[in-house]
Amino acid sequence: MGAVTESDRILTLDVLRGVAVMGIFSVNVVAFAMPEQAYFNPSAYGGTRGASLLVWLANFVLVDGKMRGLFSLLFGASTLLVIQRAQAAGLSPASVHYRRMLWLLVFGLCHFYLIWYGDILSLYAIDGLLLYLFRNQPVRRLLYWAAGFLILDLLVMGAMGWSFLALEAAAHAPHASAATLASWHDFSHDFAPPAADALARDLAVYRGSWGGIVRDRLAHAAGDPLMQAVFASPETLGYMLLGMAGLKSGFLTGAWDPARYRRIAVVGLVIGVPAYALLAWNGWRSEFSTGIIFVDFFAVATPFRLLMMGAYASLIILFARRAGALRDRIAAAGRAAFTNYLGTSLAASLLFNGYGLGLYGHMARWQAWLVAPCFWAAMLLWSKPWLDRFRYGPFEWAWRSLARWSPQPMRRPAPVVVPA
């Protein structure tokens, strides 16, 4: 893996990645602060009125799924860049790629089991193993493959949603059988408000010790990374392939005409925002029916999510063309996105879990969300000064060094002073 020099970097990718990693924490903070069901269902915990309802509404309409989607696009684009640069340097692109993905899987599994259950790195690593097969595909074929995976995801999630709604109706019918109620409990566990005993147990675990949290995860969620890979891979692979196509076509590098980006942004927002607002209203009107929340988020929202991802990417690319201190700091946060992603998990775990400040379950949704701007500020404050002195973020350096089996040079060389 040849070192990526400053001139090798593509500014728009760094800025896009910086916005995405900050945006992801806007929704992830809820999953750190309260029971996991609250991430999708505001009636599960954290409040459904006033400021908490508004925070849920803003995140659902504007952020949730879109930033993760952008992050996936950028992973596909960055993976293709690494493969191309390895090939140009005379290295084995397959060896470079698969070593990177296997070490990313190690990072992801450590992240999941030891820090936070919401890890996406292991999913990216597993799906990334397949990306190498598409490296030489032209843009049109990449788009066909991406469409195929996204349609597959829509069909699977639509079928699951239909079953979800049918089972919910059966479970809430008069004289529902014990077997039906048990099936509903198992099927809806991650989305429905938890029962009093389950809630008490969850609060006790996450307000307890680090060892207790890890033991509970190993006992009750050990297979979750595999399940995530099974059910989330079609969508994630689709986005990654779109990212590869976006790199090859010049969309993600900012090579298109500004008017074209503006049209994509206008169409995506004019269609996507009202559609998401309607889905939010549908959830609220149903009093946050578990089945409706599942169907709306995982199936109905899919095409509108894509439109908004395209709109956001276009606006960010236009922003990246304008020089300025804020742009440069966001780009630095994107260059250190791996460290910022893992760093927010470490910091948020210490903030909310019992082995840290122990704020888990003690905040309303709006109060927990106020942590997010503080973390954004931290990313913007540390990333650029660090990268002015060092080549990589700390976790980027560790990943690169492990993949190469050799510690990589970290500190930037001192500038050469030429006498006047």
Q: Is the pLDDT of residue 187 over 90?
A: no
Q: What is the mean pLDDT of residues 235-263?
A: 97
pTM, two decimals, is 0.94
Determine the pLDDT at residue 7: 44
Determine the pLDDT at residue 95: 95
Determine the pLDDT at residue 172: 87
Determine the pLDDT at residue 259: 97
What does residue 322 show for φ and ψ, rounded to 5 degrees? -100, 115
Mean pLDDT rounded to a whole number for the chain: 93
Q: What are the structure tokens assigned to 255, written together?
A: 């090579």
Least confident of 6-20, 251-265, 270-284, 370-384: 6-20
Is residue 45 within 8 Å of 193, Cβ to Cβ? yes
**Residue 207: count of CB within 10 angstroms of its CB:** 18
Determine the pLDDT at residue 78: 96
Least confident of 155-169, 264-278, 384-398: 155-169
Radius of gyration of the chain (CA): 22
Is residue 69 within 8 Å of 107, Cβ to Cβ? no
CA angle 322, 9, 378 (to 5 degrees): 70
- Over residues 91-122, the pLDDT tens digits come to 999 999 999 999 999 999 999 999 999 999 99
Longest Cα separation, the chain: 91
Length of the chain equals: 420
In angstroms, rounded to a whole number, what is the distance separating the alpha carbons of residues 116 and 283?
A: 28
CA angle 245, 248, 249 (to 5 degrees): 80
Beta bridge partners of 150: none
Determine the pLDDT at residue 236: 97
Determine the pLDDT at residue 3: 38
Q: What is the mean pLDDT of residues 244-265?
A: 97
Q: pLDDT band for position 329 (50/70/90)?
A: very high
In angstroms, rounded to a whole number, what is the distance separating the alpha carbons of residues 151 and 156?
A: 9
Q: Is the pLDDT of residue 337 over 50?
A: yes
Q: Is the pLDDT of residue 4 over 60?
A: no
Q: Is the pLDDT of residue 188 over 60?
A: yes
Determine the pLDDT at residue 185: 82
Q: What are the structure tokens assigned to 209, written together?
A: 């010790």
In angstroms, rounded to a whole number, what is the distance separating the alpha carbons of residues 130 and 140?
A: 18
Beta bridge partners of 390: 411
Determine the pLDDT at residue 186: 82
Determine the pLDDT at residue 418: 54
In angstroms, rounded to a whole number, what is the distance separating the alpha carbons of residues 268 and 331?
A: 24
Q: What is the mean pLDDT of residues 158-171?
A: 90
Distance of CA 251 to the CA centre of its chain: 21
Determine the pLDDT at residue 6: 45
- Over residues 126-144, the pLDDT tens digits come to 999 999 999 999 999 999 9
Q: Which of 322, 324, 316, 304 is nearest to 252 (CA)?
A: 316
Q: pLDDT band for position 9 (50/70/90)?
A: confident
